[in-house]
Amino acid sequence: MTITVYFQPVNKIDGVREGSSEFDTAQEALAAVEGLERSDEKVRIVGNSGREITKSHLEMLAEAESN
């Protein structure tokens, strides 16, 4: 499952556009999301279906991967 994490500063900065990173596992994506949130980034998470998912859904997916 590929998960794409889109991010940008919470407070807009001229010239800074939304970035993105792709992850092969929910655990990797969750670690990135948590780090981005700590550094004041606004985050959107999109699953391989192209639909946006919540952080709590991502946490459930990461937990399921570890079992």
Give me the DSSP letters along 29-48.
HHHHHHHHHHTTEEEEEE-T
Q: How confident is the model at residue 67 (pLDDT cuts 50, 70, 90)?
A: confident
- What ranges do the domains of the chain cover? 3-10+20-66
Alpha carbons within 13 angstroms on the beta-carbon side of residue 49 total 3
pLDDT at 23: 98
- How many distinct helices (H) and strands (E) make up the chain? 2, 4
For residue range 16-65, list pLDDT tens digits in order: 899 999 999 999 999 999 999 999 899 999 998 999 999 999 999 999 99
- Strand pairing partners for 51? none
13 has pLDDT over 90: no
Q: What tokens does 65 get?
A: 């991967």
Statement: the pTM of the whole predicted model exceeds 0.85: yes
